[in-house]
Amino acid sequence: MENTYPDGENYVCADCGFEWPMVQAENEEKFEVRDANGNLLQDGDSVVLIKDLKVKGSSTTLKMGSKVKSIRLVSGGDHEVDCRMDAGNFMLKACFLKKV
């Protein structure tokens, strides 16, 4: 929007009141996600599950060895990987994944 202004260490949108840090871009560059073997993961990588994972609130189980293509890394929260599988869309922890 054109009505944004700096306020201390944040930018503020006068229209909606949303605030975000000025140094957000610097923090995103330092964000690293590593798989169970210590390999660096990037957006678009393919990974394999190394363990059966039960989905909370469902009877679905994601099976070990299932391949996931085109992952997306997400900063913030305890689940770093956003992906789409046959069973649906999931947020996964990188410690249960191995890069292919």
pTM of full prediction above 0.75: no
Q: Which domains does the chain carry?
A: 1-30 (no CATH), 33-99 (2.30.30.40)
Q: Identify whether the C-beta of residue 41 lies closer than 8 Å to the C-beta of residue 48.
A: no
Q: Name the token pair of 58.
A: 């469902």
By residue count, the chain amounts to: 100
One digit per residue, the tens of pLDDT, for the chain of length 100 reads 567 888 888 888 887 878 888 775 444 556 789 999 999 999 999 999 999 999 888 899 999 999 999 999 988 778 889 999 988 899 999 999 999 9
The owner of tokens 């046959």 is 86
CB atoms within 10 A of CB 23: 10
